[in-house]
Amino acid sequence: MSLNDVQTSDGTSGTTTRPTDLISYEDLYARWEQGNWRVMELDFSEDARQWREEMTEFERTAALWNYALFFWGEDAVADNLSPYIDAAPLEEQKYFLTTQQVDEARHAIFFKRFMHEVCGIGDGTMAGGLGAIRPQLTWGFRRTFERLDTIADELRADRSLPKLSAAVTLYHMVVEATLAQPGQHFITNYLEQRDMLPAFREGMEQIARDEQRHIGFGVKLLADIAADDERCRRAVADVLREVTPWGPAVLQPPGWDRNYTEAFGFTLEEIAEESIDSLQTKLRSAGLPMDELPGPPIVPVGLTNREQAERGYKLVQIGLLGEKLGPPSREPEAIELVMDTMRRQLPDTNGTSLTVQLAFSDVEPWLLRLGGGTPRAERGSEPKPDVTLGCSWEDWVDVAGGRLDPRRALLSRRLRPKARMSVLRLLPSMLGRPG
């Protein structure tokens, strides 16, 4: 099943329909019945031989790191589906989600078997396998799946359509379409090219078909409940704005050793670019183009998907995004990249021209100019800015990166604004997080 992001005519009235109108929840259920497969019948004996004899020690290390993320993720999504079933407004949606929960459990058992029988990881139990691979999880991966846990709890308490829209966006659009699907393509492509790990490859191909069906459901559900409801559209935008900054830190190899993916023929940027393409395509198919969602821009505007992918990894290494491991870089090129990223995500001021002086205590001052077209970021000072913000470079980066709550920064005087009250009211929306 494929959902194109093109609208079609209904052939009678001339009105347009979304691609999701061409499928039904019954179609999706039927595809589940047709696509059932058996994890316990896979024979991993040849995989185990190839793992020991044909893969280098580094290839095993790199593959294990990547596969560990999938193993943990499949278990996590299986655990979190129950509140989605309860919150779905139609019985047909509930029935499909029940099949999805079965799929996710099957995927987790598949990875547990492979990890134990081929890689020698764990003691053969699910708990033992998960405990053994936990140290492999990256900061960005942990943040994303911790949020999946909390949004499932929120959905248990609030079954409203906006909350369901946010939860489906995180589960089906981010976890499945943005993280899992490109990763599956990466794995199956190099295994097919090398004719390696036959049982594992067969299982990954089956999982990819399952996930395509799950993503199709998520796209259809969002099109049905969220595309024409402003409350739901805002909920979708809010959760994307929250989690998108974690994305570049999900597939962050140990020590930034690029050989963890390049040993198998793919760069980090290639995988990230496919992730961005996938998310944007699915949102358009659901009638929720990212650049038309309410609120400030979710990702830096004016960049190609490849440029976004390249910039995301640079911003993690600079210290704007990802885990805080020390002070951010103060190199002029790093500061310029941070400021350019921020100005590309500044909110619309509704025609109000605004000059913000950033009076950093430890690096050169910068100016942000809003209104009258595309926001600008410039080195230097302005004699009479509308707003002056005094702070250290590190505190500014922590606020921009979402590590320091701007309200707390203001109360503790780590951010020191000076401006007219009518202008200060615009300040909170300017301190959003970059993607």
| pLDDT for the residue numbered 354 | 87
Same domain for 190 and 109, yes or no, is: yes
Q: Rounded to an integer, what distance in angstroms lies between the CA atom of residue 173 and that of residue 215?
A: 7
The one-letter amino acid at 210 = D
Neighbours of 153 (CB within 10 A): 11
Is 207 a member of any domain? yes
The one-letter amino acid at 108 = A
Enter the DSSP assignment of 131: H
pLDDT digits (tens, 9 = 90+) for 240-283: 999 999 999 999 999 999 999 999 999 999 999 999 999 999 99
Q: Domain span at residue 256?
A: 8-292
pLDDT digits (tens, 9 = 90+) for 182-198: 999 999 999 999 999 99
pLDDT digits (tens, 9 = 90+) for 31-85: 999 999 999 999 999 999 999 999 999 999 999 999 999 999 999 999 999 999 9
Same domain for 408 and 288, yes or no, is: no
For the cut 90, the answer to whether the pLDDT of residue 10 exceeds it is no
Is 307 a member of any domain? no
Strand pairing report for 354-360 and 387-391 = parallel
Same domain for 394 and 268, yes or no, is: no
Same domain for 131 and 51, yes or no, is: yes
pLDDT digits (tens, 9 = 90+) for 414-428: 999 998 766 666 665
Same domain for 424 and 363, yes or no, is: yes
Same domain for 158 and 215, yes or no, is: yes
Under the banding of pLDDT at 50, 70 and 90, the label for residue 402 is: confident
For the cut 70, the answer to whether the pLDDT of residue 408 exceeds it is yes
More confident of the two residues 13 and 291: 291
Contact 101, 78 (CB under 8 A): yes
| pLDDT for the residue numbered 135 | 95
Same domain for 86 and 202, yes or no, is: yes
| pLDDT for the residue numbered 261 | 95
Under the banding of pLDDT at 50, 70 and 90, the label for residue 6 is: very low
Is 269 a member of any domain? yes
Under the banding of pLDDT at 50, 70 and 90, the label for residue 146 is: very high
| pLDDT for the residue numbered 9 | 33
User: What's the whole-number mean pLDDT along residues 107-111?
Assistant: 97
What is the domain-level CATH number for residue 273?
A: 1.10.620.20
Contact 225, 161 (CB under 8 A): yes
Last residue of some domain: 229, 260, 292?
292
Same domain for 175 and 39, yes or no, is: yes
Report the chain's mean pLDDT, rounded to a whole number. Answer: 92
Contact 381, 357 (CB under 8 A): yes
Contact 100, 74 (CB under 8 A): no
Q: Rounded to an integer, what distance in angstroms lies between the CA atom of residue 200 and that of residue 47?
A: 7
| pLDDT for the residue numbered 423 | 64
Same domain for 274 and 339, yes or no, is: no
What is the domain-level CATH number for residue 421?
A: 3.30.1050.10
User: What's the whole-number mean pLDDT along residues 194-222?
Assistant: 97
CA distances (Å), origin 355, targets 123, 243, 300, 382: 61, 29, 20, 8
The percent of residues in the chain predicted with pLDDT above 90, rounded, is: 85
User: What's the whole-number mean pLDDT along residues 84-91?
Assistant: 98
Q: What is the pTM of this model?
A: 0.92
Of 304, 248, 305, nearest to 274 (Cα)?
Answer: 305
Q: Rounded to an integer, what distance in angstroms lies between the CA atom of residue 223 and that of residue 199?
A: 36
Is 312 a member of any domain? no
CA distances (Å), origin 108, targets 70, 125, 128, 255, 403: 8, 11, 13, 28, 32
Same domain for 343 and 288, yes or no, is: no
Enter the DSSP assignment of 172: I
Which residue stretches of 56-180 are H helix?
Answer: 57-80, 82-87, 91-117, 126-133, 139-157, 161-168
Q: What is the number of structural domains in the chain?
A: 2
Same domain for 236 and 347, yes or no, is: no
Under the banding of pLDDT at 50, 70 and 90, the label for residue 372 is: confident
Is 306 a member of any domain? no
Under the banding of pLDDT at 50, 70 and 90, the label for residue 432 is: low
Is 310 a member of any domain? no
Under the banding of pLDDT at 50, 70 and 90, the label for residue 366 is: very high
Q: What is the dihedral of CA 105, 110, 113, 115, to 10 degrees?
A: -110
